[in-house]
Amino acid sequence: PYPPSAAVVRAIQEASQHKLTRYPDPQGTVFRRRAGEVLGVDPDGILCGNGSDDILTIVTRALVGAGQVMRTPYPSYILYRTLAQLQGAICEEVSFESDWSLPPRFAAATESLRLVVLPNPNSPSGTLVPPDVILRMAEQLPCPLLVDEAYVDFAETSCLSLVARCERLMVSRSFSKSYALAGLRFGFLVAQPDLVTQFEKVKDSYNCDALAIAGATAAIDDQDWLQSTQTRLRRTREESAVALRQLGFSVQPSQANFLWCTRTDRPLKPVYEQLKSAQILVRYMQYPQWGDGLRVSIGTDAQMDALLTVLRRIL
């Protein structure tokens, strides 16, 4: 809900004056170096992407062929299934337990399995599988495990430091959520350098433009901005969770920038529609064999107050 760091806008405006005529650096070296320092990872283990969707596409194309299997949890990000379908591959969806933990089957070594993708924190639940559990799964699996950390900047832990310890564990990150740069299209992968070298063969040569590289570098350089935004957003999230529970919702404790709200005493689709007609947009999600709910993104305090006011009227 907050605008990005002013340093990002300045970097883009500066780059727009002298970086447009030539092709961008195919590797985004300046970003990799700065991100490596800030995150404490090997710059050669960073792959820049045109949004983390591009990273997911690159990894899927590199690893999963026609007739092979990609595994994801269910319910989670619906793009994974589409990416498998584009490859003519099979997407095996393993249901979360009712407490949003993963069953042992999620880490089972089965035939033709080529890639496992785990969003962590997950959407729509906002829940997090602990890094030590993920490391054990990666060690058990016969193929790479991509941990999609699009929402991790709102969480308390991450799998980033595990990448160097386990070749099969990879982490993807997005600038669309915590850095407020959805319009810029920038994401990245952290994996062991040998793997990144292979993934580079699959990506478009110039997948990230010069403005995105400049903007993302300025963004990751401004960790003060990130921390202050994180703090504000987490406080709003916790206050909103309390208020929504008081209104009768079952609200999953969240490590992301949204709250997963369910209730059994009344249907949720009409609540979503009444909110929409009051110009408040939340996401109504209906998962077959699982149930429905409202995924409420965290806005400013004023935006959340507006939501609660309308809900008090409706309910």
Per CB under 8 A, residues contacting a second copy are 2-4, 8-9, 12-13, 15-17, 19-24, 50-51, 53-54, 57, 61, 65-66, 79, 86, 88, 176, 180-185, 202, 204-212, 215
The minimum distance between CB 136 and a second copy, in angstroms, equals 32
The minimum distance between CB 221 and a second copy, in angstroms, equals 16
State yes or no: cis peptide before 104, omega within 30 of 0. no
Query: Which residue, 88 or 103, is less far from a second copy as judged by CB?
Result: 88
- What DSSP line would sit under the chain, residue for residue? -PPPPHHHHHHHHHHHHHSSSSPPPTT-HHHHHHHHHHHTS-GGGEEEESSHHHHHHHHHHHH--TT-EEEEEESS-THHHHHHHHTT-EEEEEEPPTTSPPPGGGG---TTEEEEEEESS-TTT-----HHHHHHHHHH-SS-EEEE-TTGGGSS--SGGGTTT-TTEEEEEESSSTT--TTT--EEEE--HHHHHHHHTTS-TT-S-HHHHHHHHHHHH-HHHHHHHHHHHHHHHHHHHHHHHHTT-EE---SSSEEEEE-SSS-SHHHHHHHHHTT---EEEEETTTEEEEEEE---HHHHHHHHHHHHHH-
CB-hemisphere CA count at 13 Å for 270? 6
The minimum distance between CB 205 and a second copy, in angstroms, equals 6
d(CA 33, CA 35): 6
The minimum distance between CB 291 and a second copy, in angstroms, equals 26
Query: Which residue, 149 or 209, is less far from a second copy as judged by CB?
Result: 209
- Cβ-Cβ contacts under 8 Å for 122 (sequence gap 6 or more): 73, 76, 96, 100, 128, 129, 256
73 token code pair:
């949890």
- State CA 295 to chain mean position distance: 15
The minimum distance between CB 186 and a second copy, in angstroms, equals 8
Query: Which residue, 52 or 158, is less far from a second copy as judged by CB?
Result: 52
The minimum distance between CB 133 and a second copy, in angstroms, equals 30
The minimum distance between CB 241 and a second copy, in angstroms, equals 24
Query: Which residue, 60 or 192, is less far from a second copy as judged by CB?
Result: 60
Query: Which residue, 51 or 144, is less far from a second copy as judged by CB?
Result: 51
The minimum distance between CB 98 and a second copy, in angstroms, equals 31
Query: Which residue, 23 or 289, is less far from a second copy as judged by CB?
Result: 23
State yes or no: cis peptide before 103, omega within 30 of 0. no
The minimum distance between CB 3 and a second copy, in angstroms, equals 6
